[in-house]
Amino acid sequence: MADDLPKPEPKEIDEKLALQLRHMIEDNVLKGVPYGEERCDNCLYYLDPDDKIAYCWHPKLRILVGGSWWCQWWEKIE
């Protein structure tokens, strides 16, 4: 049955989104590693700290991020 599926190829929307994300990465300091004790899963903007991947609701990002990542807008949870 898997042989009946067309070969996956990126669509125009995929290329557009990839370009938007590339610009976002250039404008932000978003790293795939923590900065000392600062990491996304202990940041105010990390929506669900119990998940390894969760939504970051910081106005400049608003994307899925990994719990062990870090960005320049890390903020301590009060």
Q: What is the pLDDT along the chain (78 residues), one digit of tens a residue?
A: 557 888 889 899 999 999 988 888 787 788 999 999 999 999 999 999 999 999 999 998 899 999 999 999 999 998
Question: What does the pLDDT read at residue 48?
Answer: 96
Question: What does the pLDDT read at residue 1?
Answer: 54
> Is there a domain that residue 5 lies in?
no
User: 73: exposed, middle or buried (C-beta count within 10 Å: 0-12, 13-18, 19+)?
Assistant: middle
> Is there a domain that residue 13 lies in?
no
CA distances from 39 to 8, 12, 15, 64, 69 (A): 34, 33, 29, 14, 5
> Is there a domain that residue 20 lies in?
no
Question: What does the pLDDT read at residue 2?
Answer: 58
Q: How many domains does the chain have?
A: 1
Residue in 77, 45, 11 with CA at minimum distance from that of residue 69: 45
42: containing domain = 30-78
> Is there a domain that residue 51 lies in?
yes
> Is there a domain that residue 12 lies in?
no
> Is there a domain that residue 36 lies in?
yes
Question: What does the pLDDT read at residue 33?
Answer: 95
